Amino acid sequence: MRGFCFSERRRDNLVLAAKLRPKKSVEYEGTAPTEELEMALIDKLKQELDRAGKAAQDAFDDGKTRLEAFRTRQLADKAAQALGYAVYRAKKGGAADLDAETYSRLSGTLQTHDTEAARLEAEIEARRKASAAKSPPSADAASGPVSSPS
């Protein structure tokens, strides 16, 4: 029995690989990608990536605006609650009404937050309408109702 030698096995593998390797490069007529085709694919990929990036940025901006509107609405609610508590405490304490300075301060805070929340909600609605106008109707809506043959 012959002893195992690493160099013999390596040499056998190299010989086998050389036999399996094609002698020259194989080119198929009409199917090899040309430089123009590669550039067209790269351009198309770049366009799609730009479009996807813009969609992602729009979604991020929309989410950010929605979160800001939610937080501002919470601040307006807290200001309304503080105004309500102040009026309640004044009435409970026997005063006919809340003093003008406290009312002015609390109602001004409420008005500021309420106005900002309304502005943000209007911005969200405008974005929603703009995106609905940009997106083409679906294929089902474009084809109209489908009637079944009778």
> pLDDT (tens digit, 9 = 90+) per residue, 76-110?
999 999 999 999 998 888 887 888 899 999 999 99
Residue of higher predicted confidence among 134 and 69: 69
pLDDT given at position 47: 93
pLDDT given at position 150: 45
Asked if 79 and 105 touch (Cβ cutoff 8 Å), the reply is: no
Provide the whole-model pTM.
Answer: 0.58
Q: Which residue has the tokens 């366009």?
A: 47
pLDDT given at position 134: 79
pLDDT given at position 1: 47
What are the backbone dihedrals phi and psi of residue 33, each rounded to the nearest 5 degrees, phi first? -65, 130
Asked if 127 and 57 touch (Cβ cutoff 8 Å), the reply is: no
CA distance 69 to 123: 10
CA distance 5 to 58: 65
% of residues, the chain, pLDDT over 70: 71
The per-residue pLDDT of the chain, averaged, comes to 81
Q: Which residue has the tokens 């950010």?
A: 64
CA distance 30 to 33: 8
pLDDT given at position 4: 53
Report the Cα–Cα distance between both ends of the chain, in Å, rounded: 85
pLDDT given at position 26: 52
pLDDT digits (tens, 9 = 90+) for 33-51: 577 888 888 999 999 999 9
Closest CA to 72 of 113, 127, 36, 40: 113
